[in-house]
Chains A and B, each alone.
Chain A
Amino acid sequence: MDNQTFIREMFSEFYNKNIDRVEIPKSIESREFGFTLFKESTMIRHKGFMRAEDLKEFIKKIVPSNVYYSSAYYSMPEAKMDEKGWLGSDLFFDIDADHIPTECNKQHDMWICRVCGLKGRGVPPTICPRCGNLGFDEKGNIIGYRQETWPCEICLETTRMETIKLIDILTSDLGFSISEIRCAFSGHRGYHVQIEIDEVLKLDSMARKEIIDYVTGTGIDARFHGLEEISHSGARILVGPGLHDFGWRGRIARGTYEFLLKATAKDLRGLGLRKEVVENLLANRDMILESWKASGPWNMIKGLGLRGWEKIVQRGIQFQSAKVDTVVTVDIHRLIRLPGTLHGKTGLLKISFPASEIETFDPLKEAVAFKGGEARVYVEESPEFRIGEEVFGPFKEQTVNLPISAAVFLACKDAGKVISYNV
């Protein structure tokens, strides 16, 4: 039996029994929907549905491998892109391990050059070291790399931390209330964060870019946040933000604190700081820590001036910024995965939950779609993975009996072949 047939059958059965798990977006009649199928490679786009029932019937009928809907509202969602009549768009953030280089991606992620077939681990290179493939042919068509990524626990935990930072910025700084923020596990390697209140709908791309720059700390100049040289009874002294200041002021201080707490000589030299300065910083670590209780370390390191501090601060900002995908938020015509539907790369559900539960939400448990059943699977190669409470693998070239959920997962990842199954 081929994997695709198996996956499609499982998806079909899931939608037949659980169609009410599909979450119907607000103002369904103004949204555009898109679907990918198992056989055809093109996406069905520009679909519109007047009623929830119509959408559900459609999903049951076509059994899509992925279901998307527009974060935008249109007066005519089925029209061509430039005739749809844009009415507004939810404020949407995507946090995905694909955009956050974790240490473990070198172990579980793989890329294959589409031109020469070279394989490697981790993030694909910008230029293929063997054939010079840039990811494009001379006409600008994308040829790039085939990527096989893995939703590992460490990566998921990393994206959770970024999501927590994002929610903090959205509430503390931008003033959204926690109940206005919807979170979702994407069904693969990250989280979605969405705000649907009227106030944000009309924000144009430029305004959303500013919001993105705000949450990612892009373009910060610490001199606007209190890092400056002032004269104090005749002497020039450096002052800077404090840990408890609000907005990016405080974040800059806390990020700098975090960075200096653990920075090694190599980290500091990497910033282009002089050797004596690096030594001073390391030798005075305790004093620096202590100084945050008062006016901070800004004026206490010999040889470290405004320029040097600016470099350190930039590193500190990285600790505090939320690593969201910048393209997604700015795109006001974006299609996003529909909550309550299956992810074609994992067989897991995209599942939404209130932002207040982000700390405790267990994606690999809540997103499991298939309960019960068993399958016999030949696994080519797979790192360790967890589905629900159970941990599987690592496997290499072996035949094993697995619950259906794990079998669907491996089949979706193309890491094994399903030999037989019963549900």
Chain B
Amino acid sequence: MEAHSTLRLERSGMLTLSDMAKYPFIPEAAEYIRRLDFKIENLLEDDYAPILSRAEKRIIDALTTNPPKVGYNPREYGEDIEIISFPVAIVLVSALANENVKRRYALAEAKRAYELLREENWEKVIEVARRFGWRIRAANERIGSVKFDFALNFIDYLRNISSFHEKDWKLVNRPVLKGEVYLSKQDVARLLQEEIQRYIEAKIDPKVRSILPEEILKHLERLRQTCAEKIRESPVEDISSLNSIGVVGDAFPPCIRQLYEAAQSGRHISHIGRFTLTSFLIKVGMDKNMIVDLFRKSADFNERMTRYQIEHIAGERGSGTKYTPPKCDTLQTHGLCPGANDLCKKIKHPLAYYLRSARSLKKKFRG
């Protein structure tokens, strides 16, 4: 998706200085700073102290609010400070070189943009969206009892919903016509939040540390200390809720994770897929009723059959054989391996993946 994380400078629409202060990631803002001839060394000069302090505030906001959000207060900070402090904060976050800080900061900035975008008129929203290459237009369409202001190319839509689990974001639950998804302003702002977050994450590059002046690094050290206790674990994901029952959902290999999510959303799973998921979940100690519930959403769900199969796989029926999930080889030939990650390369069986990964996760929680 690289092609889309680069911003385009479009001459068509005009965005003002105050827009740049609200959305400092747009190319016009970078252009503006270039014209000011600002360099990172300048930060050490007294004149620039407010910028450094605003940049730090951005980061502190991100790390100390929950859900993370950078504040916006045009009365407190002038437009110049707001615009220049953003790339400075990016440099500082990069130098902190911490995955958790990076994700949290990107999310907090994206959230700030989201809340501002919600309040904008449609022209502004479209202008910002087009900076990310979105194929979007004003629609003004009434479908049933709902009015939709925007039509967005469905591929741009799909690129930005992958972390959403709610039913109403599914493409199939949206009005789609001729390759466009009809959306409200609220929805467009929310999707832009995702795009902005990815964009900012991609901007954060730990390599910049080496080019920073000594003074700034010292400053950074102080920042790190202030935040040390406040750098919280990132928000929990869906599958982690299994952790409370002793099954380490976060340790599932990609293949199982994919099947699990498919089952959760009621998608059709092949026989091999079902067998793999069920035998895996039994092996890692998941309760049989929970497994039954997992399959409940599928279109052809039949409680009796499902229970029968689970009991069979658990070795409580028939020959009493307890079944083990297929090994990676088999899963690969049946298209159930979504592609090996680093840990996958070291193992040959999804259960081996789980054991290793669960062990190291537990260590991390304790340590």
A residues sitting closer than 8 Å to B (CB atoms) are 81-82, 86, 126-127, 132, 134-136, 138-142, 172-176, 199-200, 202-207, 209-214, 216-221, 224-226, 228, 230, 239, 241, 245-249, 314, 326-328, 330-334
Q: Pick the contact of A218 from B159, B299, B318, B323 — CB < 8 Å?
A: B299
Q: Are the C-beta atoms of A249 and B175 separated by less than 8 Å?
A: yes
Q: Provided the pairs A175-B180, A218-B266, A327-B335 are in contact, do residues A138 and B170 lie with their beta carbons within 8 angstroms? A: no
* Residue among A138, A212, A247, A331 making CB contact with B324, cutoff 8 Å: A138
Q: Please, could you name 13 A-B residue pairs with CB atoms under 8 Å apart, sorted by A?
A: A126-B309, A134-B275, A134-B309, A134-B312, A136-B323, A140-B275, A140-B330, A172-B177, A174-B179, A219-B266, A241-B144, A326-B268, A333-B339
Cα(A139)–Cα(B283), bound, Å: 12
Closest chain B CB from A124 CB (angstroms) = 9
Residues of B within 8 Å of A138, CB to CB, are 321-324
**Chain A: CB-nearest residue to B308:** A127
Known contacts A132-B318, A210-B161, A211-B158; A224/B174 CB under 8 A: yes
Q: Are A248 and B154 also in contact (CB < 8 A) when A132-B319, A138-B323, A327-B270 are? A: no
Q: How far is the CA of A172 from the CA of B179 in the complex (A)?
A: 8
A87 to chain B, nearest CB (A): 11
With A221-B167, A246-B177 as contacts: A327 and B273 at CB distance below 8 Å: yes
Q: Report which B residues bind A (CB closer than 8 A).
A: 1, 3, 143-145, 154-155, 158-159, 161-162, 167-168, 170-180, 258, 262, 265-268, 270-273, 275-276, 279, 299, 305, 308-309, 312-313, 317-319, 321-327, 330, 332, 334-336, 338-340, 344-345
For the complex of A and B, list the 6 residue pairs with the smallest distance between their C-beta atoms, beginning with the closest. A175-B179, A132-B318, A140-B326, A224-B173, A331-B335, A207-B158
> Within the complex, which residue of A82, A172, A199, A200 is in contact with B178, where a contact is CB–CB below 8 Å?
A172
Q: A140-B325, A142-B326 are in contact. Are A213 and B267 (CB under 8 A)?
A: yes
A91 → B minimal CB distance (Å): 10
Q: What CA separation (Å) do A174 and B174 show in the bound complex?
A: 12
Contact residues in B for A331 (Cβ distance below 8 Å)? 335
Query: Which A residues touch B276, using CB under 8 A?
Result: 140
Contact B170 A219 (CB under 8 A): yes
**How far apart sit A210 and B317, CA to CA, in the bound complex (Å)?**
37
Chain A residues closer than 8 Å to B325, beta-carbon distance: 140
Alpha-carbon distance A331/B273, docked complex (angstroms): 13
Whether B144 contacts A174 by the Cβ 8 Å rule is no
Q: Given the complex, which residues of A lie within 8 Å of B178, measured CB to CB?
A: 172-173, 175
Find out whether the CB atom of A135 lies under 8 angstroms from the CB atom of B339.
Answer: no
Report how far A140 CA is from B327 CA in the complex, Å. Answer: 7
Knowing A82-B340, A202-B1, A204-B162 are in contact, say whether A214-B176 is a contact too (CB < 8 A).
yes
- Which residues from A are CB-within-8-Å of B262? 209
A219, B267: Cβ atoms under 8 Å?
Answer: yes
**Using Cβ atoms and an 8 Å threshold, which residues of chain A touch B171?**
210-211, 213-214
Known: A140-B323, A224-B167, A247-B176. 19 other contacts (CB 8 A): A126-B305, A134-B323, A135-B271, A136-B279, A136-B323, A138-B321, A138-B322, A140-B327, A175-B154, A204-B1, A212-B267, A214-B172, A219-B266, A219-B267, A221-B167, A226-B144, A248-B173, A326-B267, A327-B334
CB contacts (< 8 Å) of A142 on chain B: these are 272, 326, 330
Asked whether B326 lies within 8 Å of A81 as measured between CB atoms, the reply is: no
**Minimal beta-carbon separation of A225 from chain B (angstroms):** 7
Q: Tell whether, in the assembled complex, residue A213 and residue B172 are in contact, meaning their CB atoms are under 8 Å apart.
A: yes
Per a CB cutoff under 8 Å, which of B143, B308, B312 touches A249?
B143
